[in-house]
Amino acid sequence: MHALNVVTLILLIIGGLNWLLVGLFQVDLVASIFGGQEAAVSRVIYVLVGLSALWQLMPLFKSFNEDEAMAQRH
């Protein structure tokens, strides 16, 4: 599961950097590299980034529960 967390974090970083480029320069690097937003590879990457975000919700909520448990111990 650790490897999956690392992969999803890397995909989220790629997605975040892509959105930074879109926001600053109106350049969608993923679309530029893979043939446009409608290209199958671009769409797969967009879906993988979105699924990565959903996956990373689990460790986030788990950390909230662990922090809550630690706070109750003190």
Domain boundaries, the chain: 2-73
**Is it the case that residue 71 has pLDDT exceeding 70?**
no
- How confident is the model over 26-48, as pLDDT tens digits? 999 999 999 999 999 999 999 99
**Is it the case that residue 24 has pLDDT exceeding 80?**
yes
When comparing pLDDT for 74 and 66, which is higher? 66
**Is it the case that residue 70 has pLDDT exceeding 80?**
no
What percent of the chain is modeled with pLDDT above 90? 77
Q: If you write DSSP's letter for every residue of 7-33 in order, what string do you get?
A: HHHHHHHHHHHHHHHHHHH---HHHHH
The answer to whether residues 31 and 42 touch, using CB atoms and an 8 Å cutoff, is yes
CA nearest 12: which of 49, 42, 46, 48? 49
Give the pLDDT score at 68.
Answer: 67
